[in-house]
């Protein structure tokens, strides 16, 4: 499926995330709750605005989505049920689906492996970093 314009990508994000960015009232509780805040170039509360504005290119360039720990604190606390984590994850998926997942290359893996590394870590990381 080819993406031709911004609009269809915005729609895709809304569809994948199943959440409505227009419900966001910019209270920032997600950003206040996020453990990865300092790592993110686009902050959790900004995802809604990026999607509403259609700044897809910037979203696709951003590494913020890969910094999300999937800890669901923002989803738990969002007073507007925007579920920012879902928007973040949708942006991540859009990147991976378009680029085939280049955040972590297979060749990186062996050197990252440690003796005591649990399988859970590997599968989780693969799920998040690769398509």
Which residues touch 83 (CB under 8 Å, ≥6 apart)? 17, 19, 74, 75
| Closest approach of other proteins to the CB of residue 15, in Å | 7
Based on the shown chain and the rule CB under 8 A, indicate whether residue 32 belongs to the binding site for other proteins. Answer: yes
13 burial class (0-12, 13-18, 19+ CB within 10 angstroms)? buried
Alpha-carbon separation of residue 17 from 2, 75, 78, 81 (angstroms): 19, 12, 15, 12
What would the x/- binding string for other proteins be over residues 96 to 125, using CB under 8 A? --------x---x---x---xxxxxxxxxx
| Closest approach of other proteins to the CB of residue 88, in Å | 9
Q: For other proteins, which is the closer residue by CB, 3 or 72?
A: 72
Q: For other proteins, which is the closer residue by CB, 27 or 57?
A: 27
Based on the shown chain and the rule CB under 8 A, indicate whether residue 63 belongs to the binding site for other proteins. Answer: no
């Amino acid at each position: 499926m080819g993406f031709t314009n911004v609009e269809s990508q915005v729609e895709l994000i809304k569809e994948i995330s199943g959440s409505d960015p227009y419900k966001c009232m910019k209270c920032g509780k997600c950003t206040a709750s996020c453990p990865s805040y300092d790592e993110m170039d686009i902050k959790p509360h900004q995802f809604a605005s990026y999607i509403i504005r259609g700044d897809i290119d910037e979203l696709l360039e951003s590494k913020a989505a890969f910094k999300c720990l999937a800890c669901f604190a923002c989803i738990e606390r969002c007073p507007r049920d925007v579920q920012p984590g879902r928007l973040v994850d949708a942006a991540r998926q859009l990147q991976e689906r378009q680029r085939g997942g280049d955040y972590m290359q297979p060749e990186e893996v062996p050197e990252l492996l440690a003796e005591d590394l649990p399988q859970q870590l590997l599968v989780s990381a693969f799920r998040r970093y690769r398509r």
